[in-house]
Structure formats: C-alpha cells, structure tokens
A and B are shown apart, each in its own frame.
Chain A
Amino acid sequence: MINKTNYIFCFFLLLVGSDLVAQYKEIEMRVSKTNISLDEEFTLEIIWTKNGNLKLPSLTDFVVLNGPMMSSYTQQSNINGKVNSITYKSYSYLLRPIKKGKFTIKESKLVSDGTTYKSNPITISVGEATNPNYHRSIEPKLLILTSKNEIYQGEAVILSYTIHHNFVRAQITGDQFPEQIKCWKYFLDPGINSWKEYLTTYKGNSYTVVPFKKEIVVPNQTGTYKILPFTMTLRGSDQFSTNFYNLKSDEPIIQVKPLPNEPDNFCGGIGNFKIKLKSTKYFLNTGEGFDLVYTLSGKGNLNSIQLKKPVLPKGFEIFDAEITDKIKYTENGIEGSITFSFPIIAKKPGKFEITPEAISYFDPEKKSYQTIQAEKLTLEITGNELLSSNGKTINEQDTLIKDIKDIITKKDIPERYSNTIYGTKLFFISIFTLPFLYLILLFKPKEKILNQAEIEQNLAKKASQFATEKLSLAQQAINQNNYSDFYLETHKSILNYLNHKFQIKSVEVSKDNLQRLLEQRHISKSVIVDLIDIIEKCEFARYGSQSSLGSEQTILNRCVEIIDILEKS
C-alpha cells in the first residue's frame, strides 16, 4: 500500500526530473531540504550523465525509507542546426534523520573513460521535531530485573524477565529462557492475565516495560551468583517501519552473603515470622489423642522451616509432625503460614503446662537473628495411667507392636531363585520337542505315486532276485540229493519269475497259454519249448510218483540259462 509519504516522494521526483532539463554536470547530488526537523523526511538525488561506474555515498546517519529508485531522461537540443542529445540518469532516496545534529552526505563518484568525476558533498542540519506526537523507535532492550542485588543465603530474590521497548507494536517471534542453576526456584503464574506492562525511564529514554516471566530464586551457594541471560527474537513496528531484532538480555549479578553463626534453636527461617501454639483438646482422658499445632506465619522461606519435636513432660507419646502449609508465592516474595501438627497420646493423668521452646530465625532487614516463642498452654488429663503388660509405660514402639499382626507360624518351605524350571534347558526341551516333531511331519515329502511302468520294472527286478534265491536253494537241494525239494524250488522259482516278470499268473500257466503269451513278448520258440519242458518235468516230479528224473543239474543249468535269456529279452 502506498502511503502519503510515497505520493509526496513521487510528486517531488517529477519536479526534480523537470529541473534536470535546465542544466547538466557529469555528476551531481541534490536534496529537497538541508534544514529539516527530526520528524521530517527529505529526498536525496544523485544525477549523472555519463556511462561509467558509480560509487554511492554512505547513508548510515539516516534511515532509508525508500530507494534507490532509478530514472532516466533524454534531452535533445538543436543549436544552430546541430542536434545534441544528453541522457540524465538518477538515483533517488527518501531519507529520514535518526538524531539531531549536522550530518554530511559525502560526495558520489563516477568513473567514466578513466576520469573520476565527483559530486558536491551535502550537509544536512537536523533540528527538534515539530510534531509533538512524533514517535520513533529506539533499540529495544532485554533486561532481567532483580528485586535485590545483595541477599543472605536462603533469602529469596524475584527475577523479572522483561523487554524495554518503545514500539507502536511489538511481536515476539522466538524466545529462549534459561533454567537458573544452583538454586531453588519457583515460577510465578500471572493467572489468566499476563504480567502488567508499565512505563519507565532507562538511561534517558522512556520505555514500555513488558514482563514475560517472573520467578522466585533462592541461590544455594554464597558469593557471586550470576543470573543466566535469556534471548528473544522480536519484530518491532513504529509509524514508519518494521524491524527485526535478535536480542540477548543482561546478566545481573547477585551477591549472596553467608548467614552469621547460627544459634542452636535456628529453625532455618529467613524473613520475618510469628509463631502460635494451640492444642486441639485441652481437657482429655488418658489414652486419648490430640494434636499440638504450631503455626508459623509471615514473610520469608516458610518452605524451608523445620520444627523439632517439642519436648513434653513424661506421660505423653509424641509422633512425627504432619506438615501443612498455606504458602503464597507472589511478586512480593514468599509469604503465608506453615503448620506443624504433632499427634500426641496422653498416658498419665494430671495438669500439665506445656512451655514451647523458643526458636530463632534470621531477619535480613535487621541483619540479625530474632527469637520467638509461642505462648504457654495448660492441659488437664484425667483417668488412669496407661501401662504395658510388663508394668512400664507404653511407648511409641510398643503401641505399634501392640497393633500389628504377629508372625505366621504355618509351615513354609522357602524356594530358591535357582530352583525354578522357567528358562532352564528342561523348560526349553519340554516345550520345543513336540512342536519340532509336528513341524517335521508337516513338511515331510509325500510318498511318490508310482506309475504302471515303474511298478512293472520293480516287479521285474524282484522277479530276478527271487528266482536267483530259489535257484540257489535248488542247487543246495541237488547237493544234498534232495530231489523233491529241487523240483519244488525250481518250479516255484519259474512260476514266480513268470508272474513277476511277465505278470503270468500261476493258474494261467498251461502249455498253450504260456506259448502264446511268451510269443507275444517275442521270446524265441526254442526257449519257450525248453521252458515248458522244464515246467512239465517239475510238475511231473512234484505231483508224480517219481522223485528223481535224473539230469537235475542239466535242468537247473538250462533253467538258469533260460532266466538269463528272458532277463535280456
């Protein structure tokens, strides 16, 4: 969006442009005004007519609001019939002063054809701003404000992480807060609203102070305590411009002084406190319980205060205190109250005056220890004295023991860590064996289904093996002159052989059948005749009356020969 200033700037350019026509130099600098006020802008123009290298002046004393804008203009003139042409080129800036005073814009230089041309330097006088509402930004600052610069050990200091700025509008684009070390710390919560902004003057400039974070810090060391800085990226806008800033805060130093010699009854408190004592019951019976309640209130490190068990007359059993607090952590520091409630059982009748012990705290304002003491109180206890079984007064441990459940006497055999089955070899063997077997079965290759040809081949193989076995038995029978066995074995061997080799069943073995079936398998006639002859001889010997026909060895040899021939066929 072009604002008013830019319109004025453009209009001014036109005016200057027309002025160029009137005269020319190689290089020249012009400004719209030499005497300006702080809230005024002015234009700077650098005009040159020759081509060359231009060296522009430094403008660090001013804010460049616009520019450089380049323009050119060619002027032609006819003098005595001679036409001249000059091209004017210019750079224009819209500038605004930063501060009051006199500032010189140094000369511009133009190097053309080996010659250096210089423009005139210009001095600008900047006076007071004329507009009372004039506002312009100055460099913002990140500051960590501390509530105190010198504290005692254990005393709290409040840190406020702030930005000091005077922008019309400021926007944080990034921040990093450190975690302060070697201290106890508590971040303060501003609640629904953020921390309140306020105006301040810092080093002669007025600033808006924006606190971002506040925390209570209690350094736990003495000496010089350095606060760690925070960083922030900021976009700040004023009436004229918007700028980005990468900022880092200061690092304030706090001197932490050690406490003077602590008295014996020092409760650890540093600040300003009051103490009160009350009892939950003032009239009671023996065996009855009541609480002695010590309340410490005030400003200071209430959270660090420790109260010892009060020393009571004999006849009271006192337990550890129950501590409750109502502590507020605010911009003013730590304040509130802390209550130590000691449960007590009365065991002896009588009138007892409880005199609380004096305690001391350190007051950093007075720089000395202060002693405080609660008021006395009187208790009236009635009833009989409580005694344990052995006649002694029951003490704390005894009451606990009285209440607890006793040992277990049932038979118990302790186990040993190493006796567990879980994770042992036996465990793994017992869980993996069966699944492993199952997996083997699952992935076992299935039996191959044989085809007819393979079955026949297997049978034929068996046939020759069987025949060889039977014939060797037959040979044994000859050797033993046991001819009936010889014929039996020989017959069996031939029938089995035929059965396995040619699938001719025993019942089909007749002269005609055998001849036909073997002829179909291209067996020579002489072999068939010899085979039938041997079979007949065997049948004759087996089923006939004659046990020996003679020439058994010849029969056997011929039989072996025939099987050999049939094997090769």
Chain B
Amino acid sequence: MIKFHFYIIFFLLFIFSSNANEVHDLYRSQQYDSVISIHEKLISDNYYSDILYYNTANAYLRKGDTIKALLYYYKSFQINPNLEECEYNFRLIEKKLLLENNFSEQGFSLWFKKMIAGYSQNFWVILFIISFNIIFTILLFFKFKKLSLTSWSKIILFFLFILSTFSFFASIVNDQMIHAHPYSMNLNTNIVVKSEPSTNSTDLKKLKAGEIFKIVDENTDWYKITTGNTINGWVPKKDIVKI
C-alpha cells in the first residue's frame, strides 16, 4: 500500500516538475478541477512551494472560489514574500472584497523575510554548516600545529562567525515561514466574533469571509482571536483555517 502511495506521489511530482506543461495545459483548457486535485494531492502529502500554492490559487479563482484562492495566495506569500504576482493578486481581491488586512509586515521585517525567502531553507542550513565547520577546522589546525592565531586568521574567523550566525538565524526564520501558521482565515460568511466562548455571549463583530486574524488562545471548540484592531473575541473552530 505504502509502495503504491509512493508511486502515485512520484507520478504526480513527475507530472508537476518534468511535465509541468501538462498541468499548465490542463489549466489552459479550463480543467481547473483537475489542476486543483493534482495540486491538493501534493499539498496533502506535505509538499509545498510558493508557485504550487500560487497556481492552485489561480485555479480556484478561475473556478469562482475567490475565498479559497485568497487562502492559497496568502499561503504562497507566507513562504515567499518575493512573489510579486501573488501579492498583486491578493491585494486586488482584498480591495474588491473590501477586506482590511491589518497584519501586513513592513520595513526591516519584510525586507529580511524577502531576502531569506530568496533561497531555500536547505541553502541556509548548508551555508551555516559549512561556515561553522570552517571556523573549527581553522581552530583545530592552529591547535594541532601549536601555533597562535595570526591577525589574518582572526579576521577570516570573524567574518566566518558573522556568516554562520546570520545563516543560522536565516534557517530558523525560514523554518518558521514554512512551518509556523501565525495567521488564520475565515472561510465562511457571517461568522460572528463572540465576547465569550459560548453561543449565548455578546456579539462583538461580524467577520467577513476571507478576513485574517491571529489566534491568541483556544479551548475545545473555540479560538480566541485578535483582528489587529484590538477586537479580542471567540469564534467557533469549525469555520477557521490556518494559513
């Protein structure tokens, strides 16, 4: 069974990577359901890429499911803020649906994430391992030879230290961008934010479909959320999906 499963994934990956054109042809021939099912199968098997999410979003949009499209645009942007097409599309949808996105990152934080997302996570990990090991190779060499460190070697060690520290943090941030789900989204229309985790509690705000927020607490059936405008309230878990 596992073997069979493996073959299917291999086949899908094969279609997607080597013969990506075939998926694109399906898209061009307006077979959006087929495109979505191929992409979602890969996603459910823990595959990810900014373009995979982006193209899934476009297929959903063409199919007419704007909210699902928005979800996949956000997912794509989450792992790669450099994808300009993605940002353009979801900003356009936000504008059309009159959604306020209060969680847009700006300034240094966005610049840093863009730079890190420019390379894969393994790139940063390998860069860290190499620079870190070169530092200790130099140190071991001097130790074996019973020599004291020269000024040149000190300068090289300093730069290698900077490089390894930076690549280490970059790999952590990249890991978070891929694995952490800081935001959540409402797929359903007419979700009401309640003051307490109970259907009898006070209505605080109506959440539009596609509105994003942060989860700050949870219990069995409810999430406590903040929408960035100091609205803290509870929403039922069943209507919420993590980006």
A residues near B, CB below 8 A? Answer: 181-185, 220-221, 319-320, 322, 397, 400-401, 403-423, 427, 430-431, 434-435, 437-438, 441-442
Q: Tell me the residues in window 141-195 of chain B with beta carbons closer than 8 Å to chain A beta carbons.
A: 143-144, 171, 175, 178-179
Q: Is the CB of A438 within 8 A of B136?
A: yes
17 more A-B residue pairs beyond the given contacts A320-B97, A413-B16, A437-B140, with a C-beta to C-beta distance below 8 A: A181-B201, A182-B201, A322-B98, A400-B96, A401-B61, A404-B93, A408-B51, A408-B54, A409-B20, A413-B17, A414-B13, A414-B17, A417-B47, A417-B178, A422-B171, A434-B136, A438-B136
Q: Is the CB of B46 within 8 A of A416?
A: yes
Give the Cβ gap from B49 to chain A, nearest Cβ, in Å: 4
Q: What 10 pairs between A and B have smallest CB-CB spacing?
A: A434-B136, A414-B49, A405-B85, A414-B47, A412-B51, A417-B46, A413-B17, A407-B55, A421-B125, A404-B89
B214 on the interface (CB 8 Å rule)?
no
Residues of B within 8 A of A401 (CB): 61-62
Q: Is the CB of A434 within 8 A of B66?
A: no
Given A322-B98, A434-B137, check contact A414 B202 (CB 8 Å). Answer: no
Give the Cβ gap from B193 to chain A, nearest Cβ, in Å: 12
B114 on the interface (CB 8 Å rule)?
no
Give the Cβ gap from A456 to chain B, nearest Cβ, in Å: 28
Q: Is the CB of A427 within 8 A of B129?
A: yes
Closest to B87 in A: A405
Closest to B28 in A: A407
B34 on the interface (CB 8 Å rule)?
no
C-alpha gap A434/B58 in the complex (Å):
48
C-alpha gap A325/B51 in the complex (Å):
41
Closest to B55 in A: A407
The digit string for B79-117, where 1 denotes a CB below 8 A from any CB of A, is: 000010100110011001110000000000000000000
B242 on the interface (CB 8 Å rule)?
no
Residues of B within 8 A of A438 (CB): 136, 139-140, 143
C-alpha gap A393/B120 in the complex (Å):
45
Q: Is the CB of A427 within 8 A of B125?
A: yes
Residues of B within 8 A of A397 (CB): 64, 66
Residues of A within 8 A of B85 (CB): 405, 408
Residues of A within 8 A of B88 (CB): 404-405
Give the Cβ gap from A556 to chain B, nearest Cβ, in Å: 48
B203 on the interface (CB 8 Å rule)?
yes
Q: Is the CB of B89 within 8 A of A422?
A: no
In-complex Cβ contact of A416 among B47, B54, B64, B125 (8 A)? B47
Given A319-B96, A431-B129, check contact A415 B49 (CB 8 Å). Answer: yes
B37 on the interface (CB 8 Å rule)?
no
C-alpha gap A221/B202 in the complex (Å):
10
Closest to A410 in B: B51
Can you name 14 A-B pairs with beta carbons within 8 Å? Answer: A181-B201, A182-B202, A185-B202, A220-B202, A400-B66, A405-B88, A407-B24, A408-B85, A413-B49, A417-B178, A417-B179, A420-B175, A421-B122, A438-B136
Closest to A323 in B: B98
B243 on the interface (CB 8 Å rule)?
no
Residues of A within 8 A of B140 (CB): 434, 437-438, 441
Q: Is the CB of A430 within 8 A of B202?
A: no
Residues of A within 8 A of B48 (CB): 414-417
Residues of A within 8 A of B98 (CB): 320, 322
Give the Cβ gap from A303 to chain B, nearest Cβ, in Å: 11
Q: Is the CB of A409 within 8 A of B139?
A: no
Residues of B within 8 A of A414 (CB): 13, 16-17, 42, 47-49, 52
Residues of B within 8 A of A420 (CB): 121-122, 125, 175, 178
Q: Is the CB of B27 within 8 A of A442?
A: no
Closest to B9 in A: A416
Residues of A within 8 A of B202 (CB): 181-185, 220
Q: Is the CB of B203 within 8 A of A184?
A: yes
Given A404-B89, A408-B55, A412-B49, check contact A422 B175 (CB 8 Å). Answer: yes
Give the Cβ gap from A120 to chain B, nearest Cβ, in Å: 67
Closest to B139 in A: A438
In-complex Cβ contact of A409 among B24, B42, B52, B129 (8 A)? B24
Give the Cβ gap from B30 to chain A, nearest Cβ, in Å: 11
B200 on the interface (CB 8 Å rule)?
yes
Residues of A within 8 A of B16 (CB): 412-414
Closest to B39 in A: A414
B223 on the interface (CB 8 Å rule)?
no
In-complex Cβ contact of B136 among A184, A412, A421, A435 (8 A)? A435
Closest to B79 in A: A415
In-complex Cβ contact of B58 among A220, A407, A417, A442 (8 A)? A407
C-alpha gap A413/B48 in the complex (Å):
9
Closest to B96 in A: A400
Residues of B within 8 A of A220 (CB): 200, 202-203
C-alpha gap A286/B171 in the complex (Å):
53
Residues of A within 8 A of B133 (CB): 430-431, 434
